[in-house]
Amino acid sequence: MKYEALIQQFANRNCIETVEVALWFNEPVRQIQSRISRWVQQDKLIQLRKGKYLLPEVYRKAPLSAYSISNKLYHPSYVSLESALDFYGMIPEAIYSIQGITTRQTKSWHTPLGLFSYQHIKQERFFGYEQVQFSNEVPFFCAAPEKALIDLFYFGKGEWNEARINEMRFQNIENINMKVFKKMGKKMNSKKVNAAIHVFSKIRNKL
């Protein structure tokens, strides 16, 4: 496998995986790993984590999407928490890391694109996400607004009382589908989440 062949085949990809390259070119994984390591040292590839890489910008044809890369960096996962709430315009502060939910172990990586962190959740609570797209970027899996809030309530330490929820300065909460929100909360089977939803509902009803 030559570098030019890699560019030709993977220029439209946001993220290149070692195993995928080995399968495509029908070469042993160790041999591919050796070449990729050399190309990383030569700045011909950008390493995100072991086995996950980017082509330099000059060779990339696909728009760079940190959200989409988040899905590929650790699979299965979906974007959630403050990252999803920022995507939906529901919090005033910009979020400069990508937060995801996964059924695998809790992990985080510092990459050239920033911090990617993932919280573990049980399989029965791994729901409420959908494929979305930002502008012309690559589609990615993201929590629905209702599930992003629920995940925040679930993983946030301590009680979610009215003062704490108000401190978050949530925006556009009138867009939350309360029927869906409460149904998802019930599916989470968490007293903490359902208590937070009850408080959130009272705040929303005051609008």
Residue boundaries of the structural domains of the chain: 3-59, 66-205
Please report the pLDDT score of residue 62 as a whole number.
84
Q: What is the pLDDT of residue 14?
A: 86
3-59: what fold?
Answer: Arc Repressor Mutant, subunit A (1.10.10)
What's the CA gap between 31 and 12, in Å, rounded?
A: 23
At 12 the pLDDT is 92
pLDDT of residue 196: 98
Q: Report how far apart, in Å, the C-alpha atoms of 37 and of each of 2, 5, 73 are.
A: 14, 16, 18
Alpha carbons within 13 A on the beta-carbon side of 192: 12
Residue numbers in the chain where pLDDT is lower than 50: none
Q: Tell me the C-alpha distance between 70 and 39, whole Å.
A: 23
Q: HEC profile for 84-120?
A: HHHHCCCCCCCCCCEEEEECCCCEEEEECCEEEEEEE
Q: Residues 13-58: pLDDT tens digits?
A: 889 999 999 999 999 999 999 999 999 999 999 999 999 999 999 9
What integer pLDDT is reported at residue 136 of this predicted model? Answer: 78
Q: What confidence score (pLDDT) does residue 133 get? A: 87
Please tell me the distance from the alpha carbon of residue 118 to that of residue 100, in angstroms, as a whole number: 5
Q: Please tell me the distance from the alpha carbon of residue 138 to that of residue 197, in angstroms, as a whole number.
A: 32
Separation of CA 77 from chain center:
6
Beta bridge partners of 118: 100, 107
CB neighbours of 182 closer than 8 A, spacing ≥ 6?
197, 201
Question: What's residue 107's pLDDT?
Answer: 98
